[in-house]
Chains A and B, each alone.
Chain A
Amino acid sequence: MSTRKYLTAAVVIAVLGVAHVFAWETTEVSPGALVDGWRGMARFLAEALPPDLDWDAVVRPGLEACLTTLAIGLLGTTLSVPAALLFAVLGTRGRHQVVYQVSRSVMSFLRAVPDVVFALIFVTAVGLGPFAGVLALICHNVGVLGKLWSEAMDEVDPGPTDALRVSGAREPQVIANAVLPAVVPALIGLLLYRFDVNVRSSLVLGLVGAGGVGFLINQSIQLFEFDQMATYILMVLVLVVAVDLLSAGIRRRLT
């Protein structure tokens, strides 16, 4: 028995070792190239510092683009709520098996396709710009938010529901007075968390042409204006931290 255990361990270690060698080759890992390239990185940093703080050429467009990024994140979250709610409700346990499986599959598919891929698809449909970003976020977020919400709904304690049913309350009364009070704080918390994530995602979407400050970062890199890029990245840092603090603060007050 114990010989077999050692044999199993040896096989697992060998397989893992081979996998890592293979991965090393495939990704062309080369510490030498990194060492040789330090000069390029140093030049890059030297050019990025100090950041270009020209108001008309850099800072004002940057702030406007940050607002656009925020707006993409906001609409991408809010407009996904109706569909996410529908799939979440249909995907809770206890539904008819077909309904349950179909809604779970739709949500899995929407989650599996990265929002960047959705953005590339919508850029070809509606052209470059923030609208493509909004559409992409909606699609991906319906999958993620729907899944998170239906799990939150599954976890609701059925006790108060039973108590009201026994008192003779009708189904809408039970939902309004037992299910919703228990579940709404959790749903709002998850919604804020997704808003937080979506604002960060919309930065990446900007890189593939869906507007916002991500788009400006991409542009400044392509034009070798690294000092402008540094300004935009600082703005992104502030934006992300601000949104994170805001949503965390509200979520704390909810629980």
Chain B
Amino acid sequence: MENGLSVKGLRKSFGDRAVLNGVDFSVGAGELVVLLGANGSGKSTALRCVVGLAEADEGVVSVAGRELRGLTGAELARARRAAAMVFQQIHLVRRRNVIDNVCAGGLAGLPLSRSLTPALFPKDLRERAMACLDRVGLADRAKDRAGSLSGGQQQRVAIARALCQGAKVLLADEPVSALDPAAATQVMELLRELARNDGLAVAAVLHQPDLARRHADRVLGLLHGEIRFSTRGSDLSDVDIDALYAPDRAVAV
């Protein structure tokens, strides 16, 4: 996994409740992998453990060929920077304009004196951000307020922000759950292009099996904190899907 993501034996509990029971998966460069699973199956937690929003109890995570275990402080931060994340709630600063939001993805490399307000952002960061914005097809909206864009456009701005971070691995936590079907398709196509054409390793948590079937190179099914199956996107069957969501239905009945 020279430029991809690899996760081995990931375990995580919140109190007594085990959310991840030894999860293994990998995402190669150029590949779009979709994680499916019922609510509480641990999909999002797995991604959050990779980027450090949650602390794993056990397990080995490698990002772009670097193992995170054993790293601390600035070195850990630098290794983690190779993985970027986009969120269901998008999390842009709505009052700021689009280009400033994209620039925010590249703050880590800047000295404080050039990063405390957008007026100080250096020219090369702005140019890089503009290129990222162009990549997601929104260069013409650079000066608009982020909050004034539609949901699908905002999610693409968030993806541009992740690109501006210079990541090799892109994680997406339910990136299309808040979007209408057309916008959802557009975002999924963008994610697949970023994998195919730009060589990113993309892992997306989804709730829509149809989108997974249409866009994913590979689909992983999570159940009770374990990987239940791994299959090519086009081979994803209804039996696979029922296996993931049926246990919840049994409880509900």
Contact = CB atoms under 8 A, between A and B. Distances in A.
A167 B87 contact: no
B53 A169 contact: no
B85 A170 contact: no
A170 B110 CA distance: 10
A167 B115 contact: no
Interface string B104-124: 111110101001111000000
Contact of B84 (A159, A162, A166, A181): A166
A163 B91 contact: yes
A164 B53 CA distance: 11
Nearest to B86: A163
Contacts of B92: 160, 163
Given A166-B53, A181-B95, A172 B108 contact: no
Contact of A159 (B83, B91, B112, B116): B91
B165 A170 contact: no
Contacts of A172: 112, 116
B161 A173 contact: no
A167 B107 contact: yes
A11 to B, nearest CB: 44
* Interface of A (DSSP majority class): helix
A164 to B, nearest CB: 6
Interface string B136-175: 0000000000000000000000100110010000000000
A60 interface: no
Nearest to B106: A167
Contact of A168 (B77, B112, B118): B77
B64 to A, nearest CB: 13
A182 interface: yes
A169 B91 contact: no
Contacts of A164: 104, 107
A173 B87 contact: no
B104 A177 contact: yes
Nearest to A161: B91
Contacts of A165: 52-53
A100 B90 CA distance: 31
A42 interface: no
A177 B96 CA distance: 9
A166 B116 contact: no
Given A168-B165, A177-B107, A181-B96, A163 B112 contact: no
B88 to A, nearest CB: 10
A127 interface: no
Contacts of B110: 173
A185 interface: yes
A176 interface: yes
A157 B93 CA distance: 10
User: Which size class do B's interface residues fall under?
Assistant: 20 to 34
A167 B108 CA distance: 7
A92 to B, nearest CB: 19
A159 B89 contact: yes
A185 B94 CA distance: 12
Interface core residue of A168, A176, A178 (most chain B CB under 10 Å): A168
A173 B107 CA distance: 7
A182 B108 CA distance: 20
Nearest to B165: A167
B181 to A, nearest CB: 24
Given A173-B112, A181-B96, A182-B95, A167 B89 contact: no
Contacts of B161: 163, 167
B168 to A, nearest CB: 13
Interface in B56-95: 77-78, 80-81, 83-85, 87, 89-93, 95
A5 B86 CA distance: 54
Nearest to B108: A168
Given A164-B104, A166-B53, A170-B112, A182 B93 contact: yes
Contacts of A159: 87, 89-91
B164 to A, nearest CB: 8
Nearest to B100: A177
B93 A160 contact: yes
Nearest to A178: B93
Given A170-B112, A177-B116, 12 more contacts: A159-B90, A159-B91, A163-B161, A164-B104, A166-B51, A166-B53, A170-B107, A176-B116, A177-B118, A178-B104, A181-B93, A182-B93
6 contacts: A167-B108, A169-B107, A173-B116, A177-B104, A181-B95, A182-B93
